[in-house]
Structures are given as structure tokens and as C-alpha cells.
Amino acid sequence: MAPLDPHSFTDSHHPLTTDISLSLYLDFPSATIHGVAFFILKSPHVGQLSFDTRSLSIHQVLSPITLSPLPFSLSSSPDPIKGTQLSISLPDDDVLNSFFIVFSTSPSSSALQWLSPPQTFSKKHPFVYTQCQCIHARSIFPCQDTPAARIRYSALLNVPRELSAVMSARHVDRRSPVSGEGHSHLLPGGFNSLWCSETRVVEEFQMNQPIPPYLFAFAVGELGFREVGPRTKVYSESVNSVLDAAAKEFAGTEEMIRQGEKLFGDYDWERFDLLVLPPSFPYGGMENPRMVFLTPTVIKGDASGAQVVAHELAHSWTGNLITNMNNEHFWLNEGFTTYAERRIVEAVQGEDRAILNTGIGWKGLNEEMERFKDNLEFTKLKNNQEGVDPDDVYSEVPYEKGFQFLLRIERQIGRPAFDEFIKKYIATFKFKSIDTHTFLKFLKANVPGIEKEIDLVLWTEGTGIPPDAYEPVSNLYTKIVSLANEFKLGRMPREDEVADWRGQEWELYLENLPKVIEASQDYEVKVAFLQLAIMSQCRNFYGEVEKTLKEVGRMKYLRPLYRALVQGKGKEEEKILAKRVFSEARECYHPIARGVVESIFAKHL
């Protein structure tokens, strides 16, 4: 076997999947999905074919011609990172490039979170959503779960009639179920007969552009929406207060799309819709094409949450159009997207705002260097992740060091030339997955002599922050840090000095204070303060720490708070609090978030 990806069983000698057709029956009472997937390979294949699965039951693999069973086997013990290998034997007497797999998920699927009504905004209906990045699509359906395998897909989702569905795909139809439609006649366990129940409805979707499996996404619940632009609807549970707040926060989305098109070329995905998920969503945002997923914590009431949208929008060009070959080259997704995000923010909100973001990112990058001081491999842009769970080493390094690398190239050749280079790069590699070597080869071909001016090997394969990185200089950034330093001398900022501050400014100010007591409805500000409260053991605020850990599931907030509680000596009370809160809140967290907290505990408890 010749691995294509350290996080996948996919064999580089096997043909990759190009198209998948899914018929999925979502069974809310059992928190499972029963499905049939029809796979088309790039070319016919004979012999063994390896797929990734995790926590799936594989019922049958079937010939598309005769529907006769094809031999398959599952590895005897799951790999703790990659899951279970599915090996399919394709016959040599009837060469195939397609087949069916009949399967069921389990309630422990790492990509799915099933929410009961009390865990939702509406408190009336259940909700389910996916989170497939980095390597979790394999827990929804068997696949070659690597970004190297770009797939087109169609899907029929059979859901309770009172609910509706959205996907990272074009919505085709909502209709009553039809007997035998799609591949529903092959569903396991009698669910083929339940397909046409009067209590059910079918939502049909089509994704005609090839995307990596981690961008497969759907959500099902009682959904409503607001129109905020010609290409954008904002969805959430059908709760007016949430929908109205989201529509206000993201009202400027169309202008960001237009600026992105000026910078990077046409927007190729037709729609740029947004879904605000329940509070348990473990990330700030997820760039699923056509349907970005967002945490409700980005709704801050002052439109500053739109910067998260700017990042996910930037992925429409860098990450979704051009994708890293595997997670060892993750900076190609996130470094480019951080650069593109800040260019969009600069165009829409001004240069000082973009430089403020760069300053905050620079501070975060230096903190990550401290975090990985005993494991410098993960301070590299191109790193070795063999035997490493990508969720465990997720950090700001690919974002901010990747951004700094691209900024270094821009500073060397000038912005106009770099703008042309970026457009050519996107046009050349759109709908492809590439690695760092491919990017560097393209860079040297299009910017002759660049390797003599910039140490490309040091930037991509070296540890730490290169000496020619750029520490940003921003009037606003300097002012905020200066005010924080003055606080240490006993001076509070005047009201007129902070009148225009939003969450980002307060976050930066608080992070530069020694110890401060402050509260805010902005989670960026609140969590920055609560970390300080924990570090200084201001136990009067531990009730707020507990409340925050129980009301949000975004890992950006869970990680630092749990880490602050359990890291270091002399924190027995804090460790007891962390374990108790996690035991009470864990069922409200997404499986990925649960795993992250458990890994923090494993390291520090």
C-alpha cells in the first residue's frame, strides 16, 4: 500500500472517487443515518480498493450491474486516528468503476451532533448538523477521506416533515417521498419501507463542482432565513430574534463578495449563504461552499462578526477552489485565506482595521511558538503529521505564519505584481488539490529569482518565526497596547478614547493587562478576561467561567478556558471545577470539541 495521506487509508495506486450519489434516511430517535452511496471512480479498477470509515456499520457492497454482493472486509481494530479501513474486492471478470455501499452511522459519529429540543434556540424541535473537517466525513459515509479526492455529489435527505435541510450544495427540490427514488430501495433494516411515510419529506441537493470530502455538510432542523443580499440568505433556527440579529450583523456581505471578486476573480459558487448554528458548534466558522456554518458567538451587535464571514468568504477562492493535498500542507488553505481575508477587510473596513487584525494575529503566532516550544515540528508550515491527529495540533501557525510568508513575498515584489500572481495562481489551480512543492515550483516559475531574495526553505520547512517576518505597525494597535500599559501605572482610558472600540479592541486591551475584572456580552472579550481571572485565581468569577463553558461549544473558547483551569501547579480547585463542568456539559459539545477537551485533560490531569 502506498499512502496518499497520513490521515487516510486511501492508496495512491488506486483510482480516486469522482462522483457520489447519496440516499440518506435521518432517524432522529436513534441518532443514526441509514444510507446508500453510489460511487463512481475516475477509472475502472480490479482487486482491492481502500476506503476510510469511522463508527460505521457496513451492511453490503453491491455490483451496480447485478446488485449482487461484492466481497469486503473491515480492519479488525480501529486506528485511533484514521478509524477503520474498508477493503472492497472488485472483480476481474467484470471490470467496474462504480458500486453501491449500504451503511448506517452510529450515535458516536465524530462528524454529527444530534441536539435534543432543549439544546436548541427554539426548544421545540431536534436539530442535527455536520462538521467534517479535517477527517470526519468518514463517520457519515464511507469514502476516500482525503482532500486529494475531490468529489461531485448529489443527495436525497429523508427527514421529518416539520423540519427542513440545508447543504453545501444547490437545493433542487423539497417534495413528498417517492417509492424507490434514488437508491432508497436498497436501504437496510426496513428503512426502505419507511422512506415513503406521510410524516417524512425529501430534500434534494446537487453539488456539480468537485470539492474535498471535508466540505460535505448539512444541517436539519426547524429553519428560517432572512435575505441580506442578491447572493446571500442568513439561515438559523426559526427564531426571530436570532434571525434578525444575524441579518443585521451580516448586512454587508454582498460588498465583501464584490471586493473579493475584484481582488481574486469571479465568485464561482453562485450562492454565499450563511447558517447560524446552535451554540454547541465547535468553530467560529466553517467554509462549506454555498452554505457557510457560523457560531452564534460571532453575532456581536456591531457588525464586527462580519470579519469571521470575511475569512470564510476568502476560502471560496483559497481552500475551496484550491485545496491542500493533505493536512501537512494546511497552510496552503489557511495562510492564503488569512491573507485574502485581510485584503477584503482592508477594502471594506479600512487599512487600520486590517493592520489591527494582523497585530492580533502576530501576538497569537508568538503565543503558539511558546505552546509548541517542546514540539517545534508544528511551528513549520510544511510539517510531518504521521501518527498525529490533526485536531490535536490545530493552531494559529498555518494561519499566521502562512500569512506572514505571503506578506513577505508581497513586500519583495510589490502589491501590484503580487495581486497578478495570486489571480494567476487561482486560475491555474482552481478545483485542484496541491502541496507545498507545487506552490513553490509555481512561485519560482512566475517570479524568477525569488529564491535568491527569500529563503523559501526556511519559511516552509524551518521552525519558529523567520527573522524577516513583519511585526505590524498600526496606530490603533499601538494606541491600545499603550493604554493597556498605562493601566498598569494606574490610568484608566477615558471614555472618548474607547468610544469607537468594538470587541477586537477590547480583546486586545484585556490581553495586554496584567489582571483585570471586566465582563462583556462579546465572547472574545469575555473569554480573554476569564482567562485572566483564572490565571490570577479570582474565584469570584468562576461562576461566570462555568456558565460560559456550559453555554457555548466553540473550541476557540473551550480550549483556552479548560487549559487555563488545568494547566500548572497549585490548581486543585480549578481542576476539580474543570472536570465537573465537563462532565455536566460534555453531551452539549460536538464530538470534536469533546475530544479536544479530553486531550487537554489527558495532558494536564
Cβ(217)–Cβ(291) under 8 Å?
yes
Check whether residue 282 and residue 350 sit in a common domain. Answer: no
Can you give the pLDDT at residue 472? 83
Among candidate residues 444, 473, 502, the one where a domain is terminated? 473
Check whether residue 343 and residue 293 sit in a common domain. Answer: no
118 marked among binding-site residues: no
What's the CATH number where 284 sits?
3.30.2010.30
What's the CATH number where 199 sits?
2.60.40.1730
In a domain, 128, yes or no: yes
Check whether residue 299 and residue 366 sit in a common domain. Answer: no
- CA–CA separation, 88 and 283 (whole Å): 35
In a domain, 367, yes or no: yes
Angle of the 503-511 helix axis to the 523-535 helix axis, nearest 10: 10
Check whether residue 100 and residue 216 sit in a common domain. Answer: yes
Tens digit of each residue's pLDDT (9 = 90 or more) over 47-102? 999 999 999 999 999 999 999 999 999 999 999 999 999 999 999 877 789 999 99
In a domain, 60, yes or no: yes
133 marked among binding-site residues: yes
Catalytic residues: 312, 399
504 marked among binding-site residues: no
In a domain, 482, yes or no: no
282 marked among binding-site residues: yes
In a domain, 500, yes or no: no
DSSP element (H, E) containing 420: helix 415-429
119 marked among binding-site residues: no
132 marked among binding-site residues: yes
Can you give the pLDDT at residue 517? 42
Cβ(305)–Cβ(250) under 8 Å?
yes
Check whether residue 269 and residue 307 sit in a common domain. Answer: yes
For the ranges 321-325, 444-448, 523-527, which has the lowest average pLDDT? 523-527
DSSP element (H, E) containing 530: helix 523-535
In a domain, 479, yes or no: no
555 marked among binding-site residues: yes
Give every CB contact of residue 96 below 8 A, 6+ residues apart in sequence.
Answer: 44, 45, 63, 64, 65, 90
Check whether residue 228 and residue 195 sit in a common domain. Answer: no
Check whether residue 354 and residue 422 sit in a common domain. Answer: yes
The owner of cell 430501495 is: 185
Tens digit of each residue's pLDDT (9 = 90 or more) over 373-423? 999 999 999 999 999 999 999 999 999 999 999 999 999 999 999 999 999
Q: Closest Cα partner for 30 from 118, 114, 131, 130?
A: 114
- CA–CA separation, 39 and 20 (whole Å): 5
The owner of cell 501547579 is: 569
- CA–CA separation, 599 and 605 (whole Å): 10
Check whether residue 130 and residue 185 sit in a common domain. Answer: yes
What's the CATH number where 443 sits?
1.10.390.10
Among candidate residues 220, 249, 271, the one where a domain is terminated? 220
Give every CB contact of residue 39 below 8 A, 6+ residues apart in sequence.
Answer: 17, 19, 20, 98, 99, 100, 101
What is the extent of the structural domain holding 155?
17-220
In a domain, 401, yes or no: yes
Tens digit of each residue's pLDDT (9 = 90 or more) over 10-48? 999 999 999 999 999 999 999 999 999 999 999 999 999
Helices (H), ranges, 350-393: 351-371
Tens digit of each residue's pLDDT (9 = 90 or more) over 473-505? 778 888 888 888 886 666 767 878 888 888 778
334 marked among binding-site residues: yes
Q: Closest Cα partner for 602 from 573, 570, 544, 562?
A: 562
Q: What is the mean pLDDT of the chain?
A: 93
Tens digit of each residue's pLDDT (9 = 90 or more) over 506-529? 777 877 775 444 445 678 778 877
Among candidate residues 193, 220, 247, the one where a domain is terminated? 220
The CB density around residue 174, as the number of other CB atoms within 10 Å, is: 14
How many structural domains does the chain have? Answer: 4
What's the CATH number where 582 sits?
1.25.40.320
Can you give the pLDDT at residue 518? 47
Check whether residue 119 and residue 264 sit in a common domain. Answer: no
Tens digit of each residue's pLDDT (9 = 90 or more) over 142-201? 999 999 999 999 999 999 999 999 999 999 999 999 999 999 999 998 899 999 999 999
556 marked among binding-site residues: yes
Check whether residue 431 and residue 444 sit in a common domain. Answer: yes
For the ranges 27-31, 141-145, 295-299, 462-466, which has the lowest average pLDDT? 295-299
209 marked among binding-site residues: no
Check whether residue 202 and residue 58 sit in a common domain. Answer: yes
Bridge-based pairing state of the strands 322-324 and 200-211: unpaired
Check whether residue 380 and residue 458 sit in a common domain. Answer: yes
**Residue 352: band (very low, low, confident or very high) from pLDDT cuts 50, 70, 90:** confident
In a domain, 502, yes or no: no
- CA–CA separation, 443 and 406 (whole Å): 11
189 marked among binding-site residues: no
Can you give the pLDDT at residue 521? 62
